[in-house]
Amino acid sequence: MSAAKDAYHHGNLRRALMDEALVLIAEKGVEGLSLREVAARVGVSHAAPYHHFADKTALVHALAHEGMRLMDERMAAAEEAAGDDARMRLLGIGMAYVQFAVDRPDYYAAFNAPEINDPVAQRPEDQPAEEQGSTWSRLIGAVAACQAAGQLPEGDPTILAVYLWSLVHGLAELWRNGPLSLMPQAAGGLEPMARQVLLAGLGTAAAGGDGATPWVPCAAEGAQ
């Protein structure tokens, strides 16, 4: 009996459906997800999932919300481990995002699905107004802390946050889809390369676009 079916027979059909949906997303992507196939894999009627999810979009939203919560927990742990240095705490958040995207491609696909980002799509009533609320607030707070410490330029922290979000998202996508992992600089794996890239990105942000020479990490600092 699969873990999903076992969970169902212990009375938690919602959890069983979500677990099996994650397996299906890992195999076929969000576009290959269907409530009918999830039901078949769990071993229930095709109508049973509708007691918990109005449609596929509701299921994807539930997975995205759960994935965001799990990623935010990683970000919080990374911030705590980084100590008091604001820039290192911000780096920890970025590293947590990249690592989560690679470790949990199922959740990552869910919270980047068209169903999540479509402003017209109907959001389930029991889901928060914005799945990314906690992680976004954490990023904004970390950027503001760097600004207060003089490690990033003054101004609207949202602009810098969008820049850094774009950086980690692009890095994760390039690694997941192959190009970066094939580079000689990636021989040591994701963590050291991602750290160097994000440190360089923070240095560019610190330059403030005013013509100053961007800070680029030396090999020793990047290896910390």
Tens-digit pLDDT string for the chain (224 aa): 455 555 555 469 999 999 999 999 999 999 999 999 999 999 999 999 999 999 999 999 999 999 999 999 999 999 999 999 999 999 999 999 999 999 999 999 999 998 887 655 544 454 444 445 789 999 999 999 999 999 999 999 999 999 999 999 999 999 988 778 888 888 888 999 999 999 999 988 877 644 333 333 333 344 33
**What 3-state DSSP class applies to 75?**
helix
Distances (CA, A) of 136 to 153, 221, 224: 19, 27, 26
CATH of domain 67-222: 1.10.357.10
| Residue from 45, 73, 157, 54 nearest 115 by CA | 54
Q: Determine contact, residues 35/23, Cβ cutoff 8 Å.
A: no
Range 1-53 classified under CATH 1.10.10: yes
What's the one-letter identity of residue 149? A
In the chain, CATH 1.10.10 covers: 1-53
Distances (CA, A) of 162 to 11, 20, 145, 222: 42, 33, 16, 23
Check residue 165 and report its DSSP letter. H
In the chain, CATH 1.10.357.10 covers: 67-222
DSSP H helical segments within the chain, as ranges? 3-9, 13-28, 35-42, 56-82, 86-103, 105-111, 114-117, 133-148, 157-176, 190-207, 219-222
CA 27 to the chain's CA centroid: 19
Residues in the chain: 224
| Residue from 9, 37, 12, 44 nearest 23 by CA | 37
Residue with tokens 């090999």: 219
Characterize 115-124 residue by residue with b for buried, 16 or more Cβ atoms within 10 angstroms of its Cβ, and e for exposed: bbeeeeeebb
